[in-house]
Amino acid sequence: MSGEQILVVLATAIASATPLVFAVIGETLSERAGVINLSAEGTIMFCAMVGFAAALASGSVWLGFLAAAAVGALIALIVAFNAITLRQSQIAVGFVLALLFSDLSSFLGVPIVRIPGPTVPAMPLPLLSELPIVGRLLFSSDVVVYASYVLIAITWLFFYRTRAGLMLRAIGEQPNAAFARGADVIRLRYLYTLIGGALMGIAGAAFSLDFKAGWSFRHTGGYGWIALAIVIFGGWNPLRAAFGAYLFGVLQSLASVAQDQFQGVPTQVLNVAPFALMILFLVLTSAGWLDRLLVRAPASVRRRVLQTLRTAPPAALGKPFVQD
Amino acid sequence: MNVELRHIHKWFGSVHANDDVSLRVRAGSIHGLLGENGAGKSTLAKILSGYITRDSGEILLDGNPVDIRTPTDAIRAGIGMLHQDPLDFPPLTVLENFMLGQAGKTLWLDHRSARRAFLALAARFQFDLNPDAHVSELTVGERQQLEMVRLLALGTRVLILDEPTTGISAEQKMLLFAALRQLAAEGKAIIFVSHKLEDVEALCDEVTVLRHGRVVGTVSLPCPAETLVAMMFGKVLVEPAKPHTARDAVALELHNVAIRTELFDLHVPHLAVHRGEVIGLAGLEGSGQQAFLEACAGVGRLAHGTLRINGQDLTHRPYRDYLAAGVCYVPADRLRDGLIAGLTIREHVALRAPRGFFINHAYTAQLAEEAIRAFNIRGTPDSRVERLSGGNQQRTQLALMPSPLSVLLMEHPTRGLDIESTLWVWQQLIARCQQGTAIVFASSDLDEILRYSDRVLVFSGGRISPPLSTTTLTVDQLGHMIGGKF
């Protein structure tokens, strides 16, 4: 592969990963607070439709994003009300919503199938876009892509550098202990689930107004499930989750670019490669051989490596908070 | 700060957990709250710290009524509580735990000044805590120290401690008591909730005794122990005497055995436990007692050596052969290893049924009723085991033990139980010995070990002492040996 081709693969990867970044950050936020929003598949698909329709009707892509975010938050509100207030199974409710809203998008989206509509205008950043390689790769796209970079950085800073972020990690871990320290667990869980849902809505709009502009049946098919898997792969850490999204993007764009390069390899192989890799990674990091490999390493190194590779879900993930 | 509670009531369903409780705690004093399990001590402590909300009653601080309904209210009023199971965040670091919930002027966490404040406070009480360690690596005692430092940094003037001496080492207890005396001398009010008479006697200036949710009375210490026991239970309790029950026949025999644990290998050249005999396993927690018991129970594997039950070689045999030979293992973690949380007493009885595809509901219900009556369990056949109190869970475990039994292996048979339940448990165990059961038990309570064992094995630094007869052994000698001198 030539340098030019590699650059094309990477640029495509970033473009295709951008909607995913919004989705995985949103889901990470929600799950860190202890609520699994399993409706991701339905939310993203439905909001892609809503975003496109709103932009079409109003003529403004930004109103499209706003509408998608609002609807994403509304679907998350259903999840939150069931999970937090009614203390129902988050799995059951989320799953049903995923099915419901992906079908609803097909039903309600009929009038706008395959018609041209507005898209996010390109906006190369002055100066930065003229940098060699990185300029073309990172800074020659549009506002939505730049916003995803900022989102990753802000989420990381929020998680690990602010008091509110520390409390967010706390309520998903030991809500009782967080309550004893004065946190309003219920309200915070609602808040983060809604923000997470809004980000998933934006992910849908980033799809239908930017990455693959337009609307067709099951336009974003599969991306919600992928986002849920990447959150686990990312160990509920925004940086790692974003890395997972980009890795997925690279493998996806390899699949399309490299079709003529590797004639003998069926495209399906590259299409499913990300999932196989994810499973392999999780198996390898959780298996006992890692301990054996690290047995001779100094304790501090061993601890550091295990902590980075081996992650555990928030302890209270999926469990309702009951104050005694 | 002086604390006064007036006519506090709290109902849980039909249970009147706090019934017209009134209490005064002077600033600069350590006030004990004594009572058996379920007496309403923890409920009262949680009400004062805002963790649960009272149904009625008044709380006054320095004579001014304050309405405490949430932990935030309590923190603002200067009240802090150390919960029985430390309410902290195991995956986070010590420093992050310390910062969580601390007030701050900015959005950002200030790691540097928090670290300074943390180390300064910890040093004041000689707490040796590494701010970068993860809480999951800490012992219960260290987590408690972390919570205390955190609460003091919040400006706590009334410190409540709920059963703080359960599960911590003797040294940590000394540090804790020293810290509490120091805090009282600084004018803080300390409320010390405990069911352990000796701790209350050693530490407190005054003690209020609760029974069945009501205040029995408040007395100044020192005061005769019999008075306090009578107040706690409404009657005088008698310790069961341990008769000589050991016989000639050998129930459990280990020969040239090695047991591998994560940290060290344990060796036992030869040990023969006789029928009816009681062997106590002493030592700091984590010195291999659990691995030893698991190996004897057939749950863990022997690295080498032979193990015989009633003369039958069971080395490397599957666990069900041990069960068939009359071996029973009662682990310390009742809800994790012993009972099945989520199932009822009757379902536990049904699980024990030897054969048959269907469950005979009438029959298991009847068996469960009988067990509940015989073992004095406070619950019904359809009570789920995780809802029972610790003492009643232990009674349920004992009720589920098969009969006859050759070897009974127990870890902390009376941990967390009140005096009455403890005595009751030992009555049952002694009755088992009289029927010829050999008992091997681990305990961190040296008095318990000396009182009930015929012989003692001391676990220290990866080694096991030869069996020592308790007829001449004293607590002091035992303490020295646990320190590694044998």
Domains and CATH numbers, chain B: 3-233 (3.40.50.300), 238-326+403-486 (3.40.50.300), 340-401 (no CATH)
Q: Among A57-66, B128-137, B460-469, where is mean pLDDT lowest?
A: B460-469
| pLDDT tens digits along A299-315 | 777 777 777 777 888 99
Q: Quick one: pLDDT at residue B231?
A: 85
Task: Judge: B101–A315 Cβ closer than 8 Å, yes or no.
Answer: no
In a mutagenesis test of the A interface, which of B15, B48, B109, B135 is the best target, namely the one with the most A β-carbons within 10 Å?
A: B109
The most confident of A123-137, A185-199, A294-308, B144-158, by mean pLDDT: A185-199
Q: Quick one: pLDDT at residue B182?
A: 94
User: Is the pLDDT at A22 greater than 90, yes or no?
Assistant: yes
Is A314 a member of any domain?
Answer: no
Q: How close does chain A come to B133, measured CA to CA in Å?
A: 11
SS3 content of chain B, % helix, strand, coil (to 5): 35, 25, 40
Residue B252 phi/psi, 5-degree rounding, is -130, 130
| pLDDT tens digits along B311-329 | 888 888 888 888 888 898 9
pLDDT band at A221; cut points 50, 70, 90: confident
Of B75, B91, B102, the CB nearest to A312: B91
Classify residue B129 by its DSSP letter: -
Q: How many CB atoms lie within 10 A of CB A80?
A: 27
User: Is the pLDDT at A281 greater than 90, yes or no?
Assistant: no
Q: Quick one: pLDDT at residue A288?
A: 67
CATH number, position A254: 1.10.3470
A179 contacts on B by Cβ (under 8 Å): 51, 71
Task: Judge: B71–A181 Cβ closer than 8 Å, yes or no.
Answer: yes
What percent of chain B is modeled with pLDDT above 70? 98
Task: Judge: A180–B81 Cβ closer than 8 Å, yes or no.
Answer: yes
The larger pLDDT score, comparing residue B484 to residue A278, is at A278
Could you give the ipTM of this predicted complex? Answer: 0.87
- How far apart, in whole angstroms, are the C-alpha atoms of residue B343 and residue B346? 8
B13 inside 8 A of chain A by CB:
no
- How far apart, in whole angstroms, are the C-alpha atoms of residue A286 and residue A295? 15
A154 inside 8 A of chain B by CB:
no
Beta-carbon contacts of residue A160 (< 8 Å; ≥ 6 apart)? none
B79 contacts on A by Cβ (under 8 Å): none
Query: CB–CB of B335/B393 below 8 Å?
Result: yes
Virtual torsion, Cα B221, B223, B226, B228, nearest 10 deg: -30
Provide DSSP, A78-128: HHHIIIIIS---HHHHHHHHHHHHHHHHHHHTGGGTT-----PPB-PPTTG
Query: CB–CB of A200/A46 below 8 Å?
Result: no
A176 contacts on B by Cβ (under 8 Å): 87
Residue A288 is which amino acid?
A: G
What percent of chain A is modeled with pLDDT above 70? 97
User: Is the pLDDT at A292 greater than 80, yes or no?
Assistant: no
B52 contacts on A by Cβ (under 8 Å): 323-324
Is A324 a member of any domain?
Answer: no
A122 inside 8 A of chain B by CB:
no
Q: Quick one: pLDDT at residue A83?
A: 94
Q: Quick one: pLDDT at residue B486?
A: 61
Q: Among A257-266, B159-168, B218-227, where is mean pLDDT lowest?
A: A257-266
Q: Quick one: pLDDT at residue A26?
A: 98
| pLDDT tens digits along B259-283 | 887 778 888 889 999 999 999 998 8
| pLDDT tens digits along A112-169 | 999 998 999 999 998 888 888 888 889 989 999 999 999 999 999 999 999 999 999 9
Residue B402 phi/psi, 5-degree rounding, is -70, 165
Query: CB–CB of B85/B51 below 8 Å?
Result: no
For chain A, state the CA radius of gyration. Answer: 20
Is A228 a member of any domain?
Answer: yes
Is A315 a member of any domain?
Answer: no
Q: How close does chain A come to B425, measured CA to CA in Å?
A: 30
| pLDDT tens digits along B16-33 | 889 999 999 999 999 999
Is A322 a member of any domain?
Answer: no
B72 contacts on A by Cβ (under 8 Å): 182
Query: CB–CB of A163/B109 below 8 Å?
Result: yes
B83 inside 8 A of chain A by CB:
yes
Total-model pTM: 0.80
Beta-carbon contacts of residue B324 (< 8 Å; ≥ 6 apart)? none
Q: How many CB atoms lie within 10 A of CB B224?
A: 10
Of A169, A176, A315, the CB nearest to B87: A176
Average pLDDT over all residues of chain A: 90
Residues A9-20 have a mean pLDDT of: 92
A169 inside 8 A of chain B by CB:
yes
Task: Judge: A181–B108 Cβ closer than 8 Å, yes or no.
Answer: no
- How far apart, in whole angstroms, are the C-alpha atoms of residue B210 and residue B20? 11
Residues B429-435 have a mean pLDDT of: 90
Classify residue B480 by its DSSP letter: H
B81 contacts on A by Cβ (under 8 Å): 180
Q: Quick one: pLDDT at residue B473?
A: 82
Q: Quick one: pLDDT at residue A306?
A: 73
Q: Which A-chain residues 297-316 have CB contacts (< 8 A) with chain B?
A: 312, 315
Nearest one of A64, A69, A37, A70 to A213, comparing CA atoms: A64
A176 inside 8 A of chain B by CB:
yes
Classify residue B9 by its DSSP letter: E
Query: CB–CB of A163/A304 below 8 Å?
Result: no
Task: Judge: B100–A164 Cβ closer than 8 Å, yes or no.
Answer: no
User: Is the pLDDT at B232 greater than 90, yes or no?
Assistant: no
Peptide bond connecting B404 to the previous residue in cis, omega within 30 degrees of 0: yes
pLDDT band at A287; cut points 50, 70, 90: low
Is A318 a member of any domain?
Answer: no
Q: How close does chain A come to B85, measured CA to CA in Å?
A: 10
pLDDT band at A260; cut points 50, 70, 90: low
Q: Quick one: pLDDT at residue B65?
A: 93
Is A16 a member of any domain?
Answer: yes
Number of domains in chain A: 1
The larger pLDDT score, comparing residue B240 to residue A123, is at A123
A183 contacts on B by Cβ (under 8 Å): 101
Task: Judge: A180–B87 Cβ closer than 8 Å, yes or no.
Answer: yes
- How far apart, in whole angstroms, are the C-alpha atoms of residue A177 and residue B428? 38
Q: Quick one: pLDDT at residue B281?
A: 92
Q: Quick one: pLDDT at residue A86?
A: 94
Query: CB–CB of B280/B274 below 8 Å?
Result: no
Q: Quick one: pLDDT at residue A113?
A: 92
B65 beta partners: B60
Q: Quick one: pLDDT at residue B285?
A: 77
| pLDDT tens digits along B169-184 | 888 888 999 999 999 9
Query: CB–CB of B3/B60 below 8 Å?
Result: yes
What is the span of the domain harbouring residue A58? Answer: 3-309
Average pLDDT over all residues of chain B: 87
